[in-house]
Amino acid sequence: MKTLLLTWWTGYIWSHNAVLLLEQWYQVILFDNLSNSDKSTVENIKEIAASSLLGKERVERSLKFYEGDLRNTSDLEKVFSENTIDTVIHFAWAKAVGESCEKPFEYYENNVVGTLNLTKVMEKHNCKNIIFSSSATVYDPSQTPPFSEETKTGNTTNPYGTTKFLIENILRDLATHADFRVINLRYFNPVWAHESGLIGEDPNDIPNNLLPFIMKVAAGELTELSVFGNDYDTVDGTGVRDYIHVVDLAQWHLSALKHLESNTTHLLYENINLGTWAGTSVMEMITFTEEIIGASLPHKIVARRPWDIASAYCSPDKAEKLLWWKAEKSVKQAIDDSWNFIQQKKS
C-alpha cells in the first residue's frame, strides 16, 4: 500500500481528496497546523470513508494525523522519519487574494518558505514525487480567456498569485536539476461541499471567497453580500469565474496521482489547468442560490477591488486528455451540496 502525505488536509478541498484516496486503498498521512480549520474534520473523513465499504477498522489503520507547520522543519522531519512516503500532495497555502495584499510577508513565509522547507525534507528522505496545488492567478491578467497552459504567466496582481508563480518556477527547477517529478495543477475556482453534507467549506473567520460568503448570508450569519463592481465587460457587469466542484477536483487529483505513478521511467514536469471551459458571474451565482434556498439573498453593489479582473476561465483540454477526467457536476448541483452542508451543520 503506497503512502501519501497531504499537507493542510483539513481545508475543505483537501478533506475531499483524503476521502477519495482512502477509498482507493492508499495509506494517507494528514499534516495541518489547524490555523483555519477544525480537527473534527478528521472524524467526518473517517465516517465517509468507512461507509464506502472500507470499514472503520481499516480506515483507522490507513489514516494518520500530524499537527504541524511547514515553516517548522522539525515538524516535517518527524513525519518523514516515522513514515516512508511515496508522494506528497501539497495543498498547504494561505489562499485569500485580498488578505495577501494586506499581509504579503505572511503569504511569502507560509507559501514560499513552507514549500522550500517541504522540498528540502523530501529530498533528504528520497521522496521526489509531488503534486502541487497552483492557481489561475499565475496567468498574466492582460491575457484573454479561455486560458490554456501555454497562456502567458506572470505580471501577477497580488502576493497570493505571486507566491504560486514563484513556487511553480521553484518546482520546475527542482524537476530539471534535482530529479523531482512534478504535476502542477492550476485550479480555477474550487468551491462547495461533499454530497454527504459532512464536509465542506466553513471558514472560522469572515469568508474571503464568494460561495462561503453567500452561504453565510443565506444562513443569516452575515447580513448581506458585497458585489465588487457591476461595470465589467461581462454578461451582466459582474466578475466571471470558472467554478469547479471539489468532488470533481478530487477525481482530478486521483487521476494526476495515477499519471505520476505510471510514468516512472523519465523526469516529469506538467502544468495542467483544472476548470470547466466556462464561467459564471457573481449575479448568476446569487440567482442560482436564491432558486435553491427559496428566498432572496441580500446584496449590495460596491466598488471594484484593485486586484480583480473581469473574467477568468480556462481550457481544460489537457486535463481531459491526459488525466481522463472532466468536470461532471454543475454549478447548481454544487450550490445545492453547499446548502445541504450548511443545513446539516445547523441541525
Burial status of residue 224 (CB atoms within 10 A of its CB: 0-12, 13-18, 19 or more): exposed
Side-chain half-sphere exposure of 210, counting CA atoms within 13 A: 23
> Measured between alpha carbons, how far is 102 from 87 in angstroms, rounded to an integer?
33
First and final C-alpha spacing in the chain: 38
Contact criterion met (CB below 8 Å) for 17 and 46: no
In this structure, how many other beta carbons lie within 10 angstroms of the beta carbon of residue 109?
15
DSSP state of 305: P
Q: How many residues does the chain have?
A: 347
Q: Give the orientation angle of helix 114-124 with respect to helix 159-177, to 10 degrees.
A: 20
Enumerate residues 6+ apart whose C-beta is below 8 A from 167: 111, 112, 115, 132, 134
Side-chain half-sphere exposure of 123, counting CA atoms within 13 A: 12
The closest of 329, 289, 279 to 147, measured between CA atoms, is: 279
C-alpha cell at 126: 528520497
Q: Assess whether 107 carries a catalytic annotation.
A: no
How far out from the chain centre does Cα 106 lie? 19
Range list of H helices, the chain: 12-23, 41-49, 56-62, 73-82, 97-102, 104-107, 114-124, 159-177, 210-218, 246-262, 282-293, 317-322, 331-346
> Measured between alpha carbons, how far is 229 from 240 in angstroms, rounded to an integer?
11
Q: One of 12, 160, 243, 313 is an active-site residue; which one? A: 160
Transcribe 185-201 into DSSP letters: EEE-EEE---TTSSS--
Q: Is the peptide bond before 146 cis (omega within 30 degrees of 0)?
A: yes
Catalytic residue numbers, as ranges: 160
